[in-house]
Amino acid sequence: MTDLQIIINRPQLTITEQITQLTITEQIITLGLGTIGIQGATGTSGGGGITNYERTFTQADLSIAGILPVIHGLGSFPSGVKIWDDSGEEIGADRIEVLTVNIVAIALSSFMPLQGTYTISIAT
């Protein structure tokens, strides 16, 4: 299986992968069974630009396999990935896979179905 490569060059989006279904609606990209929400990075910036990314997610953001794809756009491999549930308790993902310097896949199938809102934070 080949890797999915997503290159965001505003104002266009290039996706190279053999896919059977692609739907683009506003800023949501739907690929087959999962949904990738494009959400801008927030956080602190230093001499090298933005150094962390944070967003919330729910069960609806996961694929049916329990994967949360995150396009963080930080341009480097993460040094840390943390996830909290809505009570503030940190949870450990089943697996974290760095796909590119801008995309990680977080496996959370053992936590399904997710209850409430979770927060993911990625630092470089």
How would you class 4 by CB atoms within 10 Å of its CB: exposed for 0-12, middle for 13-18, buried for 19 or more? middle
Structure confidence at residue 49 (pLDDT): 60
82: number of Cβ within 10 Å: 14
- Which CATH number describes the domain made up of 38-123? 2.60.40
pLDDT tens readout for residues 88-98: 999 999 999 99
Q: How far apart, in whole angstroms, are the C-alpha atoms of residue 26 and residue 37? A: 10
Average pLDDT rounded to a whole number, residues 30-56: 57
Structure confidence at residue 51 (pLDDT): 85
Residue scoring higher pLDDT (62 or 49): 62
Taking alpha carbons only, the member of 90, 42, 93 closest to residue 67 is: 93
Q: How far apart, in whole angstroms, are the C-alpha atoms of residue 70 and residue 120? A: 9
Question: Is residue 28 scored above 90 in pLDDT?
Answer: no
CB 122 within 8 A of CB 78: yes
Share of the chain above pLDDT 70, in %: 60
- How big is the chain by its Cα radius of gyration, in Å? 14
Question: Is residue 3 scored above 50 in pLDDT?
Answer: no
* Domain spans, the chain: 38-123
85 forms bridges with which residues in the sheet? none
Structure confidence at residue 16 (pLDDT): 52
